[in-house]
Amino acid sequence: MRLAIFASGNGSNFEVLAKEVATGCLNSHRIACLICDNPKAYVIERAKQYKIPTYVIQPKDYPSKAAYERAILEKLAQEKVEFIVLAGYMRIIGTTLLTPYSQKIINIHPALLPQFPGRQGIQDAFDSQVAETGVTIHFVDQGIDTGPIIAQKKVKIAPNDTLETLETKIHQVEHDLYPKVLAQVLAD
């Protein structure tokens, strides 16, 4: 299947997925392109290393969210994208994209949804002093981190964890879980 990955920042999840497409559990699929809304994002460098076409498309260049998403749709059509994987894409997907890709967009969130949705899932769990948090992979709907849950994995918060050690643990779980769950979803 031809995938598009949407990302806004560092891109560690993007890189894990690119590796698994190259030689691992996603090797029957292809990353057709990276869609990025931030020209300074490190994920763009990672995509270059993997020779994955990148489109930097910024909302500020369009009169409305619908027009911005239509510009994305144009690239997705050009690249014959069949499935969208959000990996640190910091925007809410609007109906312009959701309608043609209904049930074909997934996201990874660094908390056990429905707990701690939004931009700061790791920090919010840490600040709340819960005993455990985790990672959620879910289908995307029009809400903020509200779509049907596909998979979750718990991560314990140890008394001596700092925000940084917790972030490291969460990212390790993400990197292990996302390729496997994506492979399963694409097989179904």
Query: Where along the sequence are the contacts to ligand GRF (CB under 6 A)?
Result: 7, 9-14, 87-88, 108-110, 174
Q: How far is the CB of 85 from ligand GRF (least distance, A)?
A: 11
Annotated binding site: 11-13, 65, 90-93, 107
* 29 a catalytic residue: no
d(CA 178, CA 17): 8
Nearer to ligand GRF, 68 or 89 (CB): 89
Q: Tell me which residue has its CB nearest to ligand GRF.
A: 88
Q: How far is the CB of 13 from ligand GRF (least distance, A)?
A: 3
d(CA 138, CA 26): 18
Give the other-Cβ count within 10 Å of 31's Cβ: 24
2-7 and 30-36 strand pairing: parallel
Q: Is 163 left (phi over 0), alpha (psi -120 to 50) or beta?
A: alpha
Annotated binding site for (6R)-10-formyltetrahydrofolate: 65, 90-93, 107
Nearer to ligand GRF, 88 or 147 (CB): 88
Nearest to 171 by CA among 7, 43, 10: 10
Residues β-bridged to residue 24: none
Nearer to ligand GRF, 11 or 147 (CB): 11
Q: How far is the CB of 65 from ligand GRF (least distance, A)?
A: 19
Residues classed as catalytic: 109
